[in-house]
Amino acid sequence: MAQVLEFRLPDLGEGLTGAEIVRWLVEVGDVVAVDQPVVEVETAKAMVDVPCPYAGVVTARFGEEGSELPVGAPLITVAVGASAPDGSTEAPGGSTEASGGAAGGSGNVLVGYGTSEAPARRRRVRPTPAVPAAANGRSIPAEPVEEPEAGAPAVVDGPVPVISPLVRRLARENGLDLKELTGSGPDGLILRADVEYALRAAAVQTRTAPVPSATPATAPATTPGGTRVPLKGIRGAVADKLSRSRTEIPDATCWVDADATELMRARAAMNATGAPKISLLALLARICTAALARFPELNSTVDMAAREIVRLDAVHLGFAAQTERGLVVPVVKDAHARDTEALSEEFARLTEAARTGTLTPAELTGGTFTLNNYGVFGVDGSTPIINHPEAAMLGVGRIVPKPWVHEGELAVRQVVQLSLTFDHRVCDGGTAGGFLRYVADCVEQPAVLLRTL
């Protein structure tokens, strides 16, 4: 007899609470193998193919293309051990091991879906064409579906298992009793998504409850000729992060003009050798890593819960990239350990991945310092907003010919404006000014870098 298992949207990366369905890769009735991608989703970080940890026949899909699902919401149900429409029980590619269902385990580890054997308690689900959804998005079975095995341990009183103290605090601050929730994590572990589901369900019930009023209801105010654009996907993630930065970080900005003529000449000389081309961004990144080695205070983060400044050993350099999907910040890991040529190659690779929308969540997270070359937009200066939870961001304007006093005479030189926005909690203005001055000196005299190579 076939067993129908429900596969929920897994946690796809740090800080991600949901995803938008871009394209279904399977239809109801299709036979799927373990770890076969079943849906393509777009998160606030990247496009991701989601693999299914079960092998069997797809009996239901949840959500249309273009709809958003929170982490933990049902994606598909799979009948494990069921026969395909042609009578075959074999998974695609002839894999008999994959058709063993959950007992074999998935080799593609996702948060909440590991590679261990099936747990002692099984959940039996009645195969139906569709499952009605509650107000909070969870499926509601028509009758009890859980049948614990004989000898299963009884529920004991004690603390309710949650994935982190933050989840417990979120429930406590909103007056939510965790004992009334059923966790969707391993062994009933309560995830943040479970608490958020319950809070949204309570909010929906409150909004839909009739409220007696002496005055007639009025339609919501609208702006004539206006259009409301949902803050979701990358745009929503950017909005949340920038708002959090402005709210939590007491930032300050300093700036300086620099003569970049010698830097441009040095780059031209490097690129005249026939070796792979060196980008201007790579040169600026190499200057940044050298400056951070001198001023490590700016490669840090603030832990207000512990009231500590955490100075980071490695420099993971983020750089702002504008794409058709919006602003993204890919991260060059261990930038401090790369030379200029290696930095140039990695920038090119990540920029192409950003353009095609194939950046992974790992390539979009973990930055410790950000380089923002807004000069590509044809502007001279800006006051960048720090990429939370980092401590600083270097902004670079366009390089243009301007009158400049050079060696005591007025001359036309290639001038650039540099700006540094920094978290005033990690350092004072003297440190920030010293960092920016060192960067400007390296731009004006690239030979200064030779002392640290």
Q: Which of 336, 388, 406, 424 is catalytic?
A: 424
Residue 368's nearest CA partner among 305, 280, 299, 431 is 299
- Round to whole Å and give the CA distance between 443 and 414: 11
- Round to whole Å and give the CA distance between 407 and 445: 13
Amino acid found at 300: S
- DSSP state at residue 188: G
* Residues in contact with 453: Cβ distance below 8 Å, sequence separation at least 6, in sequence order: none
CB 110 within 8 A of CB 85: no
Both tokens of 44, joined, read: 């606030």
CB 365 within 8 A of CB 14: yes
424 is catalytic: yes
* Residues in contact with 171: Cβ distance below 8 Å, sequence separation at least 6, in sequence order: 162, 177, 178, 195
Strands 74-80 and 31-32: unpaired
Alpha helix ranges (H) inside 272-402: 280-294, 340-356
Identify the three-state secondary structure at position 289: helix
CB 349 within 8 A of CB 367: no
CB 384 within 8 A of CB 393: yes
DSSP characters over 16-54: --EEEEEEE---TT-EE-TTEEEEEEE-SS-EEEEEES-
User: Which residues are part of the catalytic machinery?
Assistant: 424
